[in-house]
Amino acid sequence: MRLYEISSRDSITQNCVALMTENASVLRFGHFYPIIGSADTPRKIASATGGQFRAINDSYPTNQVAPVFGSVSLKIYGSKLEVDKAYERRGKDIPSERARQLNNFMQELGKNFQYEFFNGKTSTNVKSFNGVRALVPSAQIITADESGLLIPLGISDAARTTQQKLLEKLRLLINKVNKPDALFMNEEVLSRITTIAAEYIQYTKDDFGNYVPTFAGVPLIPAGYSADGTQVLPQNELFGEYNNASSIIAIKFGEEADLTMATSTGLVIDDLGLVGNHYVYSVEMDADLALLNNKALGMLIGIVLE
């Protein structure tokens, strides 16, 4: 279920979900599933394997399997919005001002959710969930080059060789995740890929009317910025001899499958009315990420731009 499907259907909540989704691209692709309570142990992908030869009267060897479970522990994400009642005394229309402020607030909330979705770490903030960078299995990480892959512009033989190496690594990433829903990267990397691989890029229109570049049929999505302007996937990672590397993350989303998000009620908007000197909105969502299929997540690291 999408966030708008699992949240309340009243007009204020749905408007808030739309604004949040517009500024958190993962919510356009991601699926939620409902849970009761604060924790869950969803089943991970089935792990049984087999297939071998046997002779007449031989038996196959023991092949016992057991279900494997993931772990979900809901975290509370949100904030409150306060508008001072003093504006009433100064002739302001409080309902319209609250609505105006709520719209902007939800856009910024969406940007910060996007940041936490990728970069959250319970080891540094116990209140947060683990984002995808903390969840990606080591076997699903591809290195662009051991010392970092510097991607140049130009059409020289050397430049084209390096550019083709990046495109090969992108195809490996796509194959490693097995039909991902999207590749997420920062704007600089996205611009470089669409420049050097223009003949391989196609464009499709998304639900918001935007033209989205695709490579090998997979949408290339800018990871964006947090509310304070911090890049979600920065171009300042340390890798080899470089301190300006970045990563590309491939994700396959699912509802209680692949990479999924658990929630109790979706997004909740409470108008608390006048509390002390302020009119207050409370905006919250109980959520957690769960990787139920290790092959639903992959990362290409060590991408450096000139």
d(CA 10, CA 13): 6
What's the confidence (pLDDT) of residue 38?
Answer: 95
Q: In this structure, how many other beta carbons lie within 10 angstroms of the beta carbon of residue 62? A: 5
Element at 3 (helix H, strand E): helix 3-6
Residue 162's nearest CA partner among 202, 191, 192, 140 is 192
Q: Which residue has the tokens 């691209």?
A: 25
Q: Are 243 and 146 contained in the same domain?
A: yes
Q: What are phi and psi of 17, to 5 degrees?
A: -65, -40
Q: Are 300 and 183 contained in the same domain?
A: yes
Per-residue CA distances from 130 to 70, 108, 119, 251, 276 (Å): 13, 20, 7, 15, 36
What's the confidence (pLDDT) of residue 209?
Answer: 84
What's the confidence (pLDDT) of residue 82?
Answer: 97
190 within a domain of the structure (yes/no): yes
DSSP characters over 129-143: PP-HHHHS-GGGEEE
59 within a domain of the structure (yes/no): no
d(CA 124, CA 114): 18
60 within a domain of the structure (yes/no): no
d(CA 303, CA 284): 36
User: Tokens standing for 255?
Assistant: 């509802």
- Helix axis angle, 187-196 to 157-177, nearest 10°: 120
Q: Are 145 and 281 contained in the same domain?
A: no
51 within a domain of the structure (yes/no): no
Domain with 225 in it: 136-254+295-305
Residue 190's nearest CA partner among 215, 225, 154, 160 is 215
Q: In this structure, how many other beta carbons lie within 10 angstroms of the beta carbon of residue 101? A: 15
Give the burial class of 181: count Cβ atoms within 10 A of its Cβ; 0-12 exposed, 13-18 middle, 19 or more buried.
buried
CATH number at residue 200: 3.30.1930
149 within a domain of the structure (yes/no): yes
Residue ranges, the chain, pLDDT below 50: none
Give residue 275's identity as a one-letter amino acid code: V
What's the confidence (pLDDT) of residue 302?
Answer: 97
Predicted TM-score (pTM) of the model is 0.94
Q: Are 170 and 300 contained in the same domain?
A: yes
165 within a domain of the structure (yes/no): yes
Per-residue CA distances from 259 to 60, 169, 177, 280 (Å): 34, 22, 11, 34
54 within a domain of the structure (yes/no): no
> How many domains does one find in the chain?
2
CATH number at residue 17: 3.30.2400.30
Q: Are 266 and 194 contained in the same domain?
A: no
Q: What are the residues whose beta carbons fall under 8 Å from the beta carbon of 199, sequence distance 6 or more? A: none
d(CA 20, CA 140): 29
Q: Are 32 and 106 contained in the same domain?
A: yes
Q: Is the dihedral of CA 222, 227, 230, 233 positive or negative?
A: negative
Q: Are 116 and 212 contained in the same domain?
A: no
Q: Are 248 and 153 contained in the same domain?
A: yes
Residue 288 is given by DSSP the state: E
